[in-house]
Amino acid sequence: MTLPSHPDTPPSAQTGYRHELYPYTGRDEFLQGTVGFIQEALDDGEAVVVAVPQDKASLLRSEVPEDGTVRFVDTSALAHHPGRLIGAWQEWIREHAAGGRPVRGIGESPWDQVQSQAQAEQLRYHEWLLNKAFADGPAWWLLCPYDTTGDGAALQQLTRCHPQIRTGGRSAPSTDYDPQAPFDFVPLSHPCDPYEEFIYTNGDLPALREKISACAEQLGLADRRLRELHLAATEIATNSIRHGGGHGTLRTWHEDQRMVCEFRDSGFIADPLAGRHRPTSTQVGGRGLWLVHQLCDLVEIRSTPDTGTTIRLHTQLTG
Amino acid sequence: MRAARTLATLDEAGNGDHVCQLMGPADDVMDRSRAFVADGALFGDKVMIVGPAVETAGEFAQTVLDPARLGGSLIAAVRREAESAGREGYRSLRVLHHVSRDAWPEGPEELLRSELDLEEFAADSGALVVCAYRGAEWDASTLEEVRCVHPHYLGSRPESPAFQVYRTGKEGWTVNGVIDAEGASAFGAVLCTLLAQSVTVRLLCHGLEFFDAAAMGTLADASRHLPDRKVVLEGTNDTLRLAWELSGFAVPSIPVVMAP
């Protein structure tokens, strides 16, 4: 295959985090852009982490063998859990940059396999959060391939999340990206009827877990999955009691093979990256939201000073 | 095998039990003491009453101690009585401890240490130890801490404490129930007290129903509180082990072992 030419700015001159969207159509264009990106990295002595769906990884492996410089990571356990991806990238970069060499990444989400609108929204939000998560960290360069086949509207949403767009081997600033603008969330869907509601305050954590158990058992959710949901729900409710006005409202319902637990309180989560970074052993607190993201299939958070905080925990039901 | 349970009356208490009895304002200390002594006589047990306002109890109990005049620790006095009870031909020792706030000027830490000593003593010796507290005398957090280290409970509050830590076998402490943000502080206090007395604390967690991030933070902090200590948790479920690792606590600098 023909490798594209170098981009206008050589990577060695880059500082900070560089986040590029690579819109492509079909297999050949995917390979052309990604192999070229990898080749540029190898030419400049950089390491590469490839985090793409299995089918894309197989394509790339046939062109670029894995060695000490190019590492393919298995994303199958992470790809559908956007809240876990920033922590994963931090680890991959830390492990691969151990020799002090610059690192590039290729990260593609399984957009054609998203399980819900909520998941698609959270994957886009993850792309937007990446700019904040790595803004102050060591320099590295992430290319995000996106197959545009038949989906122009979604592409436009993604251009708002990426400061740069790569076309024909060259990158240019994304005119849709505004680093000062907040993420443009789609409003949360209404809870499905029938839903259960429970108002909780100090001393109600056991009762809250019982409410969740009652709903979960009707849906066949038990054992480890229920214990994990209990843990996540307790962390959210504890935050409501301690930081969210002393009380909150739990709603539980079932939609599209998922159990949803929604928590509302009057608190405000100022840091959009809360719970996205892996905690250290010595940090004081700050583990609750991290655990929630790690234990739940999908987490939606909406928080403003005016309206308070709404958090939805989605648990996939099997069978 | 000792097991935690809630008692309807003191008549249900037996050898090896360590009972926390919460008394209401109307409960009479002397009436309680007389009934306790009568039961002791019935079973052939030596009776020891500890309390600051039980002078007249000497009329009917074999040993009456004022904790303010002990001249040593309570547990040392109790152990002496247990030894003498054996020599004197009694079946066992039963201790009724009227716990008064005035008798514990050192504060709740020392009281908790004493209660854990009594718990270990009851479990190891088979003696019956009843600790009677007047709820109005104590702040809620102290009461919660001491309730947690009694496997047996009798009193005006209908519910057992959220979690309990009690002696099991010669080297282990059973932990059962729920430890979340509302109980994490009490759990930390108990664990720090145990670690002050033992290099390795073995917690048997087969009956631990729930353990949240606050509890994990407390466990990590307590294990690092003193040098060269270790906490071993046995019977942990996969959720707790996963959450511990995810929380960043599974590192060599935190001397905690989580085992299935």
Write out residues 211-230 of B within 8 Å (CB-CB) of A: 212-214, 216-217, 220
Q: What was the pLDDT predicted at A91?
A: 93
- Tell whether A112 and A236 lie within a shared domain: no
- Tell whether A49 and A159 lie within a shared domain: yes
Q: Which of A176, A149, A155 is nearest to A30 (CA)?
A: A149
- Tell whether A30 and A137 lie within a shared domain: yes
Angle at CA of residue A310, ends B183 and A293, nearest 5°:
65
Mutate to test the interface with B, among A81, A231, A242, A296 (most CBs of B within 10 A): A231
Residue after which a domain boundary falls, among A142, A173, A204? A173
Q: Which of A150, A111, A251 is nearest to A193 (CA)?
A: A251
Q: Is residue A240 part of a domain?
A: yes
Across the interface, whether the CB atoms of A285 and B217 are under 8 A apart is answered yes
Query: Chain B closest CA to A36's CA: distance in Å?
Result: 36
pLDDT > 70 in chain A, percent = 94
B234, β-bridge pairs: B204
Residue B204 exposure: Cα atoms within 13 Å on the Cβ side: 11
Across the interface, whether the CB atoms of A238 and B217 are under 8 A apart is answered no
Which pLDDT band holds residue A290 (cuts at 50, 70, 90)? very high
Q: Which of B210, B214, B247 sits opposite A230 (nearest CB)?
A: B210
> What CATH number corresponds to the domain at position A44?
3.40.50.300
pLDDT tens digit sequence for B213-252: 999 999 999 999 888 999 999 999 999 999 999 999 999 9
Q: Which of B178, B243, B254 sits opposite A206 (nearest CB)?
A: B178
Which residue has better confidence, B145 or A11?
A: B145
A2, β-bridge pairs: none
> What CATH number corresponds to the domain at position A203?
3.30.565.10
Residues of B in contact with A231 (CB under 8 A): 210, 212-213, 239, 243
Residue of B nearest to A242 (CA): B181
Residue after which a domain boundary falls, among A117, A139, A173? A173
Q: Is residue A225 part of a domain?
A: yes
pLDDT tens digit sequence for A130-184: 999 999 888 899 999 999 986 767 888 999 999 999 998 899 999 999 999 999 9
- Please tell me the distance from the alpha carbon of residue A261 to that of residue A253, in angstroms, as a whole number: 7
Q: Is residue A309 part of a domain?
A: yes
Per-residue pLDDT for A1 more than 70? no
Per-residue pLDDT for B55 more than 60? no
Query: Quick count: other Cβ atoms within 10 Å of Cβ B209?
Result: 16
Judged by DSSP in three states, B234 sits in: strand
Mutate to test the interface with A, among B211, B246, B249, B254 (most CBs of A within 10 A): B246
Residue A59 exposure: Cα atoms within 13 Å on the Cβ side: 17
Mean pLDDT over residues B42-51, rounded?
A: 92
Instruction: Return mean pLDDT, chain B.
Output: 91
Q: What burial letters (b/e) apply to A265-292, b meaning 16+ CB within 10 Å?
A: bebebeebebbbbbbeeeeeebbbbbbb
Q: What was the pLDDT predicted at A107?
A: 98
Mutate to test the interface with B, among A287, A289, A294, A296 (most CBs of B within 10 A): A287
Q: What was the pLDDT predicted at A3?
A: 35
Which pLDDT band holds residue B85 (cuts at 50, 70, 90)? very high
Interface residues from chain A to B (CB-CB < 8 Å): 202-203, 205-206, 209, 224, 227-228, 230-231, 234-235, 238, 241-242, 278-281, 283-285, 287-288, 290-291, 294-295
pLDDT tens digit sequence for A218-263: 999 999 999 999 999 999 999 999 999 999 999 999 999 999 999 9
pLDDT > 90 in chain A, percent = 83
Which pLDDT band holds residue A15 (cuts at 50, 70, 90)? low
Which residue has better confidence, B169 or A303?
A: A303
Q: What was the pLDDT predicted at B52?
A: 75
Pairing type for strands A258-265 and A247-255 reads antiparallel
- Please tell me the distance from the alpha carbon of residue B98 to that of residue B96, in angstroms, as a whole number: 6
- A318, with CB counted inside 10 A (0-12, 13-18, 19+), is exposed
Residue after which a domain boundary falls, among A173, A204, A235? A173
The structure tokens 């000073």 sit at A305
Per-residue pLDDT for B32 more than 80? no
Query: Chain B closest CA to A228's CA: distance in Å?
Result: 6
What are the backbone angles phi and psi of residue A282, rounded to the nearest 5°?
A: -105, -10
Q: Which of B214, B243, B253 sits opposite A281 (nearest CB)?
A: B253
Angle between helices A117-133 and A85-96 in degrees, nearest 10: 40
CATH fold of B5-159 reads Rossmann fold (3.40.50)
Q: Is residue A291 part of a domain?
A: yes
Is B157 in CB contact (< 8 Å) with chain A?
A: no
Judged by DSSP in three states, B86 sits in: helix
Q: Is residue A234 part of a domain?
A: yes
Across the interface, whether the CB atoms of A280 and B180 are under 8 A apart is answered no
Mean pLDDT over residues A31-55, rounded?
A: 95
Q: What was the pLDDT predicted at B64?
A: 84
Q: What was the pLDDT predicted at B169?
A: 87
Q: What was the pLDDT predicted at A100?
A: 79
Residues of A in contact with B249 (CB under 8 A): 281
- Show the tokens assigned to B44: 């052939």
Q: Which of A249-258, B9-18, B191-200 has the lowest mean pLDDT?
A: B9-18
Q: What was the pLDDT predicted at A2?
A: 35
CATH class of B164-258: alpha beta
- Tell whether A244 and A96 lie within a shared domain: no
Across the interface, whether the CB atoms of A227 and B213 are under 8 A apart is answered no
Instruction: Return mean pLDDT, chain A.
Output: 92
Is B237 in CB contact (< 8 Å) with chain A?
A: yes
Across the interface, whether the CB atoms of B181 and A281 are under 8 A apart is answered no
Which range marks the domain in which residue A106 is found? 11-173
Query: Chain A closest CA to B254's CA: distance in Å?
Result: 8
- Please tell me the distance from the alpha carbon of residue B151 to that of residue B167, in angstroms, as a whole number: 9
Total tally of structural domains belonging to chain A = 2
E strand spans, B74-186: 93-99, 128-134, 152-155, 163-168, 172-179
Q: Which of A99, A93, A138, A102 is nearest to A12 (CA)?
A: A102
Q: Is residue A239 part of a domain?
A: yes
Which pLDDT band holds residue B59 (cuts at 50, 70, 90)? low
Query: Chain B closest CA to A281's CA: distance in Å?
Result: 5
Q: Is residue A79 part of a domain?
A: yes
Mean pLDDT over residues A194-219, rounded?
A: 96
- Tell whether A108 and A247 lie within a shared domain: no
What are the extents of the domains in chain B?
Answer: 5-159, 164-258
Residue of B nearest to A206 (CA): B178
Q: What was the pLDDT predicted at B56?
A: 56
- Tell whether A164 and A225 lie within a shared domain: no
- Tell whether A25 and A158 lie within a shared domain: yes
Mean pLDDT over residues A2-15, rounded?
A: 42
Q: What was the pLDDT predicted at B78?
A: 95
Q: Which of A95, A99, A85 is nearest to A144 (CA)?
A: A85
Per-residue pLDDT for A9 more than 70? no
- Using alpha carbons, list the distances in angstroms from residue B251 to A135, A212, A282: 28, 33, 10
Residues of A in contact with B216 (CB under 8 A): 287
**Beta carbons of B164 and B148 less than 8 angstroms apart:** yes
Q: Is ipTM > 0.85 here?
A: yes
Across the interface, whether the CB atoms of B248 and A287 are under 8 A apart is answered yes
Q: Which of B182, B217, B238 sits opposite A224 (nearest CB)?
A: B238
- Residue A194: cis peptide before it, omega within 30 degrees of 0: yes
**Beta carbons of A37 and A1 less than 8 angstroms apart:** no
